[in-house]
């Protein structure tokens, strides 16, 4: 397996892990909470630049999680084949 194929397999395994964890009843509850806490569907402006920066950091995390949850494994395999 080439290094590129290894990285693709690692990403696929990670996508599967995210989906297994968050596609449970408990995972859905956690995601609902994280969506609220991490500014998933709202602006990140805070009362001070530091607060806005912190909010942006939180939002980056939730967007990353959603990227893995929304990933189509068939596309991942085709993209890296």
pLDDT, tens digit, for every residue of 28-37?
999 999 999 9
* Cβ atoms 40, 55 nearer than 8 A: no
Q: Structure pTM?
A: 0.82
Cα separations (Å) of 52 from 13, 20, 33, 46, 66? Answer: 33, 32, 20, 4, 21
Burial class (CB in 10 A: 0-12, 13-18, 19+), 9: middle
* Cβ atoms 58, 38 nearer than 8 A: yes
Q: What value does the mean pLDDT take over residues 3-25?
A: 95
pLDDT for the residue numbered 77: 55
Is pLDDT above 60 for 81? no
pLDDT for the residue numbered 72: 87
């Amino acid at each position: 397996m080439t290094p590129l194929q290894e990285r693709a397999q690692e990403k696929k395994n990670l996508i599967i892990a995210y989906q297994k964890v968050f596609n449970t009843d408990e995972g859905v509850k956690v995601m609902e909470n994280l969506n609220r806490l991490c500014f998933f569907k709202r602006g990140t402006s805070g009362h001070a630049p530091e607060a806005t920066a912190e909010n942006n950091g939180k939002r980056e995390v939730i967007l990353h999680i959603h990227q893995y949850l929304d990933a189509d494994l068939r596309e991942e395999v085709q993209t890296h084949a």
